[in-house]
Structure 1
Amino acid sequence: MAHNFQMSNIRVLGYLFPKIYRNLYQHIYVNRAGIEKLRKTMKETPVVLLPSHRSYNDFLLMSYILYHYNLPLPRIAAGADFMAMKFINNVLRWAGAFYIRRSFGSDKLYWAVFTEYVQRLMVNGEAPLEFFLEGTRSRTGKSLPPKLGLLSVVLEPFLKGKVSDISLIPIGVSYERILEETLYAREMLGIPKPKESTSGLIKARSIFEDDYGSIYINFGEPISIRSLCEGHVDRSAYSLAPRFLFSLTKSDQRFIFELAYTVLLEQQKTLVISPWVLIASLLLQSPGGIPLEYLCKRVEWLKDVFVNLGGNVKWPVTKSTLSVVKASLSVHHTAASVSKNNHVYINSASTWTAPGEAHPTVAMTKEEVMTIATTHILLGSYRNQLTPMLKQAAMIALTFAKQLTLNKDIMMSRYRFLVNLMSKEFIFHPRTLVQDFDAILRKLEASYYLVISDDNISLTTQGTTLMQFLQKMFHPFVLGYWFACQYILSLNPDEEISTTNSLARDIQDTVACRIAEGDLFEYDILSLNVLENAVKTCIQLGGLVNNNRNYSSAGHIAGEADNQWEASPGCQAVRNWLQNPIDIWCSMVRISP
């Protein structure tokens, strides 16, 4: 488990990494102000670095940056999967990595050793601790729900008075192009992830022949646990408890749960998007291609919207929009290209039809559907980088549907439902729903997208344009959830499915058939991430209920412990609620519900 930090190894890596990164990336941008705040904080309290996790590259990137700025290098919590990589596992261990299991199960001895080891690192305070709050890499470009185990272990020394304070540092690591982008898209289609191995790493050396753009690293404001705990946590409750026992009160567990979401939301604020994210979002709404000149105008519009709503865009101010767009298309040449007539197309889209054109007369095979879907889902992973700043505005857009004016109470009721529905897709703070609702309304009103008069909220002309864009952008998620409900309600009573994952795969097969037959053109819905989240949400909202007894409803899922799940009226209610926006948007995507 333990690291074996060796400075000699760090010096070798410090020599090699600049050469490697120069071959892969154009630039690595770091906010110097964040670095200086981190330097000051390290002198005052134990520090925990919490970077976003989108690539294997994240592991040693922080170490490289801190080494460059002459700061103490972190001790990194890494998955035990890397122990299977001969030689590389030792290189990582010498660089400060220590390996932990993905799941501890009922192994109390391992839990005790792990807890003591991590807390000893925190109490000694010789170096910052680094781990990924999301637990694993996000394959979809969205933040994953936080894992609370390691965060709870890290905070216990403060709660029991072993340290006076702990500082959490949210860090946004944003890639213009992710090394594993194609692998991620295939994983979302159900192709298993290759196992970590040294031979696999050697075989992947062809990546050095391509251009992966730039990396943007943004260190957020330090979060003092002592300041956050004031008025919320009573540390005296632990004064008489044995210090060797790991135990947290229910109120402290709730505090840590809310803290994890606070950190993730702060982390999202530090993320920086590249122009390609804007381009990918617009291309997905124009699968039949888009004129380059018009694309540039739309990119400028979307950039302004994103910045107005609080997002960070890395935009070369000295270059024209046309040159920026062409440079981005050059980096992402595998996903999109410009034709001779100056139209931008998604690659592998030759079988698609532009809006208004006739449907294909020859049905595609499932393999052809999945091939096209790979590029589509790849683009979707970049589009999803817009969701942290746009998700609340999108929920407002979805409440409007096709209306131009809406009562505020009705909007709030719909907004609350949508947040609950999409809580597994996007990160919403569990305690600030009403405040977030009021804040986004004020922000949209200040940007002249909405007019609020008494209890009614109306769209302006530019607000209508924005709402239509957001409805189309989030439409695949809504449609995916609708398909999940539709499929669950269509199951025969005698059909049995072993896990929620297998149910998601069955729904995926159904969607693939609809696409192959020309009835559906939303490739995003093939993502297992969306479908699995939809099934879990059906369970969470009562659409699927656990039932170990005899049943007569539409289908059930037999879980690992012989649990049985059956469709309930809740599933019908969710499907019916989603039916209205589906009917409205059918004309946009040419689907036969």
Structure 2
Amino acid sequence: MAHPSDEYLDLLEPRRRQYDISFALKHTASLLPEYQYVTHMSKAEIRTMVLKSRRLKHTVEELVASQNCEEKEVFAEAETILDEMAHNFTLNNIRFLAYLFSKAFKRLYGHIYVNKSGLEKLRKSYRDSPVVLLPTHRSYVDFLLISYMMFEYNLPLPYIAAGADFNNMKFVNTILRFAGAFYIRRSFGSDKLYWAIFTEYVQILVINGEAPLEFFIEGTRSRTGKFLPPKRGLLQVVVEPFMKGRVPDISLIPISISYDRILEETLHSREMLGIPKPKESTSGLFKASSIFQENFGNIMVHLGDPVSLKQMSLISGVDRSVHSLAPRFIFSMNAQEQQFVQELCLSVQLMQQRHMAVSPWVLSATLLAMSPGYQTSLHNMYRDMEWLKGAAVGLGTKLNWPVGKMVQSVFEEQLAVHRAMVVVDGDNIRLNAPRKVATAEEVMTAATVYIMLGAYRNHLLPSLAQPALVSLAFCGLSAATKDELLAQYQFLVTLFNRELTFHPKTTIDDFQSTVRRLQSSSVISVTGLQYSITSSGERLISFLCSLLHPFLLGYWVVCRYLLSCPCSLDSVTEQSLAKTIQKEIASLIAAGDLKIYDILSLNLLCNAILSLVQLGGIKRSKSGWMLIEVEISKTADKISEYIELPASLLTKLFAKKLAGPAAKL
């Protein structure tokens, strides 16, 4: 990519030239853009509006009738919920945080780059409609960074939907609330009172348009370097006022935040191994202060083009007139609108993915993960990085490579950031992990750094997933017809529906455009109806297949386990079943029958189980889960067409077979 200074502003560069106190006390009010139909409300006025809303009154009446309780008791509970939820935004506290964050960010990061064009388009968006900021979510830093960035560039600071677990952090929860955070429970499914208050509160913030709303469509942080399947719940609440004509439009702003190194990388890896994350607490925050002695590289922030909800609804053919006769205070989203919101989530996520900047370290981590024994020579690393750099950029990867710098120089810079992950010994580089493990317990202890390495490799998936799926579609053959490739591709899309982001309306178009791209790059050629891998494209095809190899192997192992597990499994969940399979995998690694640690990830194992539900290998019913052996076996056989399985696995793995075609879980 071009040097960041050509297209991006460095958020920290002015801070290194100016006193932090001067920055924090700057005058901003007259510089802020404003929504043309803005309604200014104090915190007390918003509280009163929620408590007196027809939505809440209607819900309270329903609860009083159904639960035979006093109206004043329900309203008292409503007040408690609202007080726990509501923000307490004050500018003085924002100034304190601006001072604090300036100190922190300058210690942690070298540069924080923000694209100029995105800032300009965002500023223009505020006049015509309420604005909703939709950042990617990889770190707790995300929402702090967005607010800091808005303060720096004289833009309205957002109201931030934050998880209620932050409310447990004394002092910090108050500071975040002062910064505009409002706290919501992770789940509140059938709690009608909470749902009514939450919906009314969020929609008032959106309709007033006084400040943008900010939330994460992934719902929570991704711990794996991949994108989580988007959740539509909060976006539905945001979209409904537009559907009912309460706002003329809403501008959605996809924001891509790319880190050289994530603050919580070790914590995330441990969570993927089943080690519970520590509860958020103020004491835990201060214990983590040692991070200020470390180097976390740079951050790239890309503000995407505003997405007009009005235009998207017109393109999708959503009929808003169906709401004209229904009371506005009753939340209603019909099936067509729910499908529209789900597809909108996917569209926003794909926009986020297109602008994720890949660090050079991702190339190094990927090559190291694919090297035998997780080690290679520096000579090979430099040579292969040069090749992968060209290949990745050629396939559309947005690589954050410093202009004019040689591979060795860039690698050494990245090594300074990630020095704890690897060991350089003379001309060799290897993963900083035990050479030998003898027990399953030792495997789990050693696995953290392997999972971390895999998470960096996963940063390549958004840009390389489509060509990787087409590469796998050849099934190890040198040639195939287009229809054969498409059939294989569609199976893989279904299989990896929770690992990768696919839009249901563009599957065939995505396949065709990817084939054309590989053809124009001379990776594949076409003769008549036959598609063939060229000799010059063999290396790239092999690399792309290897990129998805850990997922295929993990899914195959899950299938084989389910085909051999005891029939007496009762009342299991995806998580508990995944942990059981994880223990089996750890034993296989300790015995030397498996070499790939990635498949210990509970995220991968849970996704494999849920994928089998979608493929018909597992059926859910009121009486429990049913394993459909025929379908699971078919999936396992299909996966084995794409990868070469270790011979020892075929003879040793899970020898006990199920007795019949179906077993109750």
TM-score, scaled to structure 2: 0.83
Q: Is the 8 A contact 1:39 1:71 kept in 2?
A: yes
Match of 2:383 among 272, 297, 301: 297
Match of 2:454 among 374, 380, 404: 380
Equivalent residue, structure 1, for 2:193 = 109
CA distance, structure 2, for counterparts of residue 321 and residue 33 of structure 1: 30
Matched AA of 2:489: Y
Match of 1:443 among 507, 517, 520: 517
Q: Which moved more, 1:166-175 or 1:464-473?
A: 464-473
Aligned 1:406-417 pairs, distance under 5 A? 406-417=480-491
How many residues align structurally? 567
Q: Which moved more, 1:147-156 or 1:313-322?
A: 313-322
State the Cα distance separating 1:588 from its structure 2 match. Answer: 13
Aligned 1:272-351 pairs, distance under 5 A? 272-286=357-371, 287-340=373-426, 342-351=427-436
Question: In structure 2, the residue corresponding to 1:577 is in which secondary structure?
Answer: helix
Structure 1 pair 180/250, CA: closer, same or farther in 2 (3 Å)? same
Equivalent residue, structure 1, for 2:45 = none
Aligned 1:461-500 pairs, distance under 5 A? 461-496=535-570, 498-500=572-574
Aligned 1:513-552 pairs, distance under 5 A? 513-547=587-621
Equivalent residue, structure 2, for 1:556 = none
CA distance, structure 2, for counterparts of residue 458 and residue 61 of structure 1: 47
State the Cα distance separating 1:585 from its structure 2 match. Answer: 5.3
Matched AA of 1:410: E
Question: In structure 2, the residue corresponding to 1:106 is in which secondary structure?
Answer: coil
Matched AA of 1:368: E
CA distance, structure 2, for counterparts of residue 397 and residue 589 of structure 1: 25
Q: Is the 8 A contact 1:450 1:460 kept in 2?
A: yes
Matched, 1:565 2:626: yes
State the Cα distance separating 1:295 from its structure 2 match. Answer: 0.9
Q: Deviations over 1:336-393 (max 9, x none)?
A: 13212x1111111423xxxxxxxxxxx6112221232211110111110100011111
Identity of paired residues, percent? 51
Equivalent residue, structure 2, for 1:176 = 260
Equivalent residue, structure 1, for 2:312 = 228
Match of 1:574 among 626, 632, 635: 635
Q: Which moved more, 1:110-119 or 1:311-320?
A: 311-320
Q: Which moved more, 1:243-252 or 1:366-375?
A: 366-375
CA distance, structure 1, for counterparts of residue 393 and residue 652 of structure 2: 36
Aligned 1:9-408 pairs, distance under 5 A? 9-231=93-315, 232-286=317-371, 287-340=373-426, 342-351=427-436, 364-408=438-482
Matched AA of 1:394: A
Q: Is the 8 A contact 1:49 1:171 kept in 2?
A: yes
Matched AA of 2:163: G
Q: Is the 8 A contact 2:594 2:646 kept in 1?
A: no
Q: Which moved more, 1:298-307 or 1:513-522?
A: 298-307
CA distance, structure 1, for counterparts of residue 245 and residue 386 of structure 2: 52
CA distance, structure 1, for counterparts of residue 531 and residue 107 of structure 2: 52
Matched AA of 1:564: W
Equivalent residue, structure 2, for 1:509 = 583
CA distance, structure 2, for counterparts of residue 299 and residue 588 of structure 1: 33
State the Cα distance separating 1:587 from its structure 2 match. Answer: 8.1
State the Cα distance separating 1:592 from its structure 2 match. Answer: 7.1
Q: Is the 8 A contact 1:272 1:313 kept in 2?
A: yes
Q: Is the 8 A contact 2:571 2:624 kept in 1?
A: no
CA distance, structure 2, for counterparts of residue 500 and residue 390 of structure 1: 28
State the Cα distance separating 1:406 from its structure 2 match. Answer: 1.0
Q: Is the 8 A contact 2:593 2:649 kept in 1?
A: no
State the Cα distance separating 1:229 from its structure 2 match. Answer: 1.0
CA distance, structure 2, for counterparts of residue 365 and residue 587 of structure 1: 21
State the Cα distance separating 1:565 from its structure 2 match. Answer: 2.7
Structure 1 pair 108/330, CA: closer, same or farther in 2 (3 Å)? same
Structure 1 pair 544/130, CA: closer, same or farther in 2 (3 Å)? same
Question: In structure 2, the residue corresponding to 1:272 is in which secondary structure?
Answer: coil
Matched AA of 2:365: A
Equivalent residue, structure 2, for 1:425 = 499
State the Cα distance separating 1:466 from its structure 2 match. Answer: 0.8
Q: Is the 8 A contact 1:274 1:313 kept in 2?
A: yes
Question: In structure 2, the residue corresponding to 1:99 is in which secondary structure?
Answer: strand
Structure 1 pair 592/347, CA: closer, same or farther in 2 (3 Å)? farther
CA distance, structure 2, for counterparts of residue 168 and residue 147 of structure 1: 15
Question: In structure 2, the residue corresponding to 1:386 is in which secondary structure?
Answer: helix
Structure 1 pair 592/315, CA: closer, same or farther in 2 (3 Å)? farther
Q: Is the 8 A contact 2:364 2:385 kept in 1?
A: yes
Q: Is the 8 A contact 1:54 1:138 kept in 2?
A: yes
Q: Which moved more, 1:401-410 or 1:136-145?
A: 401-410
Question: In structure 2, the residue corresponding to 1:316 is in which secondary structure?
Answer: coil
Q: Is the 8 A contact 1:84 1:197 kept in 2?
A: yes
Structure 1 pair 590/449, CA: closer, same or farther in 2 (3 Å)? farther
Structure index of larger Rg: 2
Matched AA of 2:586: A
State the Cα distance separating 1:219 from its structure 2 match. Answer: 0.6
Structure 1 pair 97/197, CA: closer, same or farther in 2 (3 Å)? same
Matched AA of 1:200: G
Matched AA of 1:4: N
Q: Deviations over 1:58-80 (max 9, x none)?
A: 12110000110011100000011
CA distance, structure 2, for counterparts of residue 299 and residue 93 of structure 1: 45
Question: In structure 1, the residue corresponding to 2:252 is in which secondary structure?
Answer: strand
CA distance, structure 2, for counterparts of residue 288 and residue 62 of structure 1: 37
CA distance, structure 2, for counterparts of residue 533 and residue 464 of structure 1: 30
Matched AA of 2:431: I
Matched AA of 2:328: R
TM-score, scaled to structure 1: 0.93
Question: In structure 1, the residue corresponding to 2:182 is in which secondary structure?
Answer: strand
Structure 1 pair 478/512, CA: closer, same or farther in 2 (3 Å)? same
Structure 1 pair 497/471, CA: closer, same or farther in 2 (3 Å)? farther
Structure 1 pair 46/295, CA: closer, same or farther in 2 (3 Å)? same
Q: Is the 8 A contact 2:129 2:249 kept in 1?
A: yes
Q: Is the 8 A contact 1:118 1:154 kept in 2?
A: yes
Supply the RMSD in Å over aligned alpha carbons.
Answer: 1.7
Q: Deviations over 1:168-193 (max 9, x none)?
A: 11000111000000011111111011
State the Cα distance separating 1:547 from its structure 2 match. Answer: 5.0
Question: In structure 1, the residue corresponding to 2:128 is in which secondary structure?
Answer: coil
Question: In structure 2, the residue corresponding to 1:458 is in which secondary structure?
Answer: strand
State the Cα distance separating 1:483 from its structure 2 match. Answer: 0.4
Q: Which moved more, 1:30-39 or 1:446-455?
A: 446-455
Q: Which moved more, 1:20-29 or 1:396-405?
A: 396-405
Matched AA of 2:405: K
Q: Is the 8 A contact 1:586 1:592 kept in 2?
A: no
